């Protein structure tokens, strides 16, 4: 009895590329390792910088992990997982973006031999999640929690945390100066510590240490019309009027269609427009405001009107600067001039000053200052941009420390302690979990090992010294960059927020687990017929005859 052959089932579109099985998993791990190799040299105080040129020729010099990962434009599907965890670490904590990518790559590297020996990925994932939870519990046990009752102690702690964050940045030689600047900036904010209330303005020229902090708002002088020069540039204790109104005459033909029979009617329409504008300007002046800011343009007529009455005005103010000004001066942005009195703000001093090649409007000594602006100076634009990224990381770390008082020692100290703890725990369990947790512990040593390699030290020798110290109770011993040895990094004030290390471990372990659970990749490019059909539709829409 014969059987008829079943016809083949076509499930996916022609041209679809599918890869699956162990080979695909190994390929994904190799891709992640290649991506990690790109940024591993940027880790630590002796890390190198990357120079990245985009398609438009824009040059970026940075050693910030998240910045580099964004600019690399990764196309490999598995590599996107590492890009995403770097972005999430940057958004949530601000620092540790290189560490999280490096640690995720180390986890995957340690997994590869087990995958090749046919250990099921789910077995590895279970063991890694157990090891992550044990590591997080250990951080909670050993982290040093500080109370912020003493203002002097609080400031010293925050400066040390900012100091450590900037040790691996381009501005590391000026980290003492900038750590004080960052703590001063964060201390101005209210209890919610809103990041958008810290403005950063970049002015090329001068040295790094020419940078300064304005306890209030500073922004570049807006575009101005004729008559602006006549207005005063400095006021003591002025009232500030914040508007979202266009104080400018518009040509009637652009805004309306009006049918008139004679010239007198047209003139009455024009006069009415001028009258409405002058009424608005007069109400603003009568409110007592000496500084008038608007998100929308303030025209030449209004500029001259205000200048004749000793009132400063500026239009086209960016939205973020407007919000910070409203916060600093305790005012509110108005969309009409009907009742300006209650909405006016006040600042102690308003002045327009020259900074480098730019004119800046500065509001300072405000009664309820809860916002500030950092004015950054420096040589090349690339250096100032990297300084801004470095200060952003430091500000985020200081904010996190204020919200979570616990700190741990940096320089590879906490990673070595977690590695020791997990190695000892692995000996208490049986089966495959013992080897997998030990592999997790070995992967944690990737951070101190890379710190040594980036500084040109003998990583094997230093890691052996660290293992011995931690085995004998040296909880906070890590790498001493200055002496090419090891030291108690807690006593040396190399401090990092515990929440940063917690987030790094969670994100890196989860990324590794995500890559391990992918056993098939399907690439479904657009069919050529679809492309030609879309082109035909566009042609018809553009008037091309069928």
Whole-model pTM? Answer: 0.80
pLDDT computed for residue 531 by the predictor: 46
Residue 529 has pLDDT above 70, yes or no: no
Does residue 475 or residue 12 have the better pLDDT? 475
pLDDT computed for residue 442 by the predictor: 95
Mean pLDDT, range 278-287, rounded to an integer: 89
Does residue 24 or residue 140 have the better pLDDT? 140
Report phi then psi at 522, rounded to 5: -120, 120
Band of the pLDDT at 106, cuts 50, 70, 90?
very high
Q: Please, which residues bridge with residue 202 across strands?
A: 376
- What distance lies between CA 523 and its chain's CA centroid? 32
pLDDT tens per residue across span 89-104: 988 888 889 999 999 9
Does residue 61 or residue 5 have the better pLDDT? 61
The CA-CA-CA angle for residues 401, 402, 406, to 5°, reads 45
Residue 490 has pLDDT above 50, yes or no: yes
Three-state SS sequence of 84-134: HHHHHHHHHCCCCHHHHHHHHHHHHHHHHHHHHCCCCHHHHHHHHHHHHHH
Mean pLDDT, range 18-29, rounded to an integer: 78
- What distance lies between CA 349 and its chain's CA centroid? 32
What whole-number distance in Å separates Cα of residue 115 and Cα of residue 125? 12
- Evaluate whether 302 touches 247 at the Cβ level (below 8 Å): yes
- Token pair of 511, please? 């990324």
pLDDT computed for residue 546 by the predictor: 39
Mean pLDDT, range 15-23, rounded to an integer: 62
Band of the pLDDT at 544, cuts 50, 70, 90?
very low
Q: Are strands 216-220 and 234-236 parallel, antiparallel or unpaired?
A: unpaired
Alpha helices (runs of H) in 404-520, residue ranges in sequence order: 413-426, 432-444, 446-455, 459-471, 498-516
Residue 463 has pLDDT above 90, yes or no: yes
Does residue 542 or residue 243 have the better pLDDT? 243
Residue 527 has pLDDT above 80, yes or no: no
Does residue 498 or residue 538 have the better pLDDT? 498
Band of the pLDDT at 515, cuts 50, 70, 90?
very high
Residue 63 has pLDDT above 80, yes or no: yes
What whole-number distance in Å separates Cα of residue 319 and Cα of residue 538? 38
Report phi then psi at 397, rounded to 5: -65, -45
What whole-number distance in Å separates Cα of residue 275 and Cα of residue 163? 59
Band of the pLDDT at 266, cuts 50, 70, 90?
confident
Q: Please, which residues bridge with residue 291 across strands?
A: 240, 312
pLDDT tens per residue across span 327-384: 888 888 888 888 888 888 888 899 998 988 888 999 988 877 788 999 999 888 888 8
Mean pLDDT, range 136-148, rounded to an integer: 89
- Token pair of 200, please? 């950063």
pLDDT computed for residue 8 by the predictor: 62
What whole-number distance in Å separates Cα of residue 307 and Cα of residue 287? 16
As a dihedral over the C-alpha atoms of residue 202, residue 204, residue 210, residue 213, rounded to 10 degrees, the angle is: -10
C-alpha dist (Å) from residue 491 to 47, 141, 409, 418, 477: 23, 19, 9, 19, 9
pLDDT computed for residue 225 by the predictor: 79
Positive or negative CA dihedral for 311, 314, 318, 319?
A: positive
Return the SS3 of 451.
Answer: helix
pLDDT tens per residue across span 290-337: 999 999 888 888 888 898 888 999 989 999 999 999 888 888 888 888
Which residue matches tokens 């994904």? Answer: 28
What whole-number distance in Å separates Cα of residue 498 and Cα of residue 503? 9
Residue 107 has pLDDT above 80, yes or no: yes
Residue 164 has pLDDT above 70, yes or no: yes
Q: In the chain, count of helices (H) and strands (E)?
A: 18, 20
Q: If you compute the radius of gyration of the chain from its CA atoms, what whole number of angstroms results? A: 31
Residue 257 has pLDDT above 80, yes or no: no
| Mean predicted lDDT score pLDDT of the chain | 85
As a dihedral over the C-alpha atoms of residue 492, residue 498, residue 501, residue 503, rounded to 10 degrees, the angle is: -160
pLDDT computed for residue 383 by the predictor: 86
Mean pLDDT, range 422-450, rounded to an integer: 93
Residue 528 has pLDDT above 80, yes or no: no
DSSP 389-412: HHHHHHHHHHHHHHHS-EEEETTT
Band of the pLDDT at 223, cuts 50, 70, 90?
confident
């Amino acid at each position: 009895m014969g059987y008829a052959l079943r016809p083949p089932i076509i499930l996916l579109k022609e041209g679809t590329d599918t890869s699956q099985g162990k080979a695909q998993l190994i390929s994904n791990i190799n891709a992640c390792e290649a991506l990690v190799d790109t940024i591993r040299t940027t880790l630590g105080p002796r890390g190198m910088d990357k120079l990245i040129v985009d398609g438009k020729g824009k040059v970026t010099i940075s050693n910030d992990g998240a910045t580099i990962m964004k600019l690399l434009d990764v196309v490999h599907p598995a590599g996107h997982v590492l890009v995403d965890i770097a972005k999430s670490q940057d958004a949530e904590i601000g620092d540790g973006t290189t560490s999280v990518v490096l640690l995720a790559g180390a986890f995957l590297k340690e997994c590869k031999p087990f995958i090749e020996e046919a250990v099921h990925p789910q077995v590895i994932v279970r063991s890694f999640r157990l090891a992550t939870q044990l590591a997080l519990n250990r951080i909670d046990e050993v982290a040093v929690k500080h109370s912020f009752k003493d203002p002097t102690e609080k400031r010293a702690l925050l400066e040390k945390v900012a100091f450590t964050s900037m040790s691996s940045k381009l501005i590391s030689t000026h980290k003492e100066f900038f750590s004080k600047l960052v703590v001063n900036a964060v201390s101005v904010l209210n209890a919610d510590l809103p990041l958008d209330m810290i403005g950063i303005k970049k002015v090329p020229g001068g040295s790094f240490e020419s940078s300064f902090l304005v306890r209030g708002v500073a922004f570049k002088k807006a575009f101005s019309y004729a008559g602006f020069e006549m207005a005063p540039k400095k006021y003591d204790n002025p009232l500030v009027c914040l508007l979202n109104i266009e104080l400018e005459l518009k040509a009637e033909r652009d805004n309306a269609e009006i049918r008139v029979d004679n010239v007198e009617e047209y003139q009455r329409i024009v006069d009415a427009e001028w009258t409405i504008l002058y009424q608005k300007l007069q109400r603003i002046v009568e409110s007592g405001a000496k500084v008038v800011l608007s998100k929308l343009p303030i025209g030449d007529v209004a500029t001259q009107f205000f200048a004749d009455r000793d009132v400063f005005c500026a239009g086209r103010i960016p939205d973020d600067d407007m919000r910070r000004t409203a916060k600093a001066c305790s005012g509110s942005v108005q969309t009409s001039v009907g009742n300006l009195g209650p909405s006016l703000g006040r600042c102690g001093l308003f002045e327009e000053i020259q900074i480098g090649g730019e004119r800046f409007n500065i509001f300072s000594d405000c009664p309820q200052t809860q916002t500030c602006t950092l004015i950054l100076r420096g040589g090349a634009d690339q250096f100032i941009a990297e300084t801004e990224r470095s200060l952003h990381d430091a500000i985020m770390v200081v904010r996190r420390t204020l919200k979570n008082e616990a700190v741990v020692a940096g320089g590879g100290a906490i990673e070595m302690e977690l590695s020791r703890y997990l190695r000892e725990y692995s000996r208490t369990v049986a089966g495959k979990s013992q080897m997998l947790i030990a592999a997790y512990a070995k992967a944690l040593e990737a951070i101190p090992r890379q710190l040594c390699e980036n500084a040109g030290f003998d990583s094997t020798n230093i890691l052996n010294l660290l293992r011995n110290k931690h085995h004998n109770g040296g909880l906070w011993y890590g790498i001493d960059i200055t002496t090419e040895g090891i030291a108690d990094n807690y006593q040396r004030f190399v401090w990092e927020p515990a929440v940063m290390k917690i987030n790094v471990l969670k994100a890196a372990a989860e990324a590794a687990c995500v890559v391990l659970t992918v056993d098939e990749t399907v690439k479904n490019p657009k069919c050529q017929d679809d492309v030609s059909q879309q082109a035909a539709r566009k042609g018809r829409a553009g008037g091309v005859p069928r």
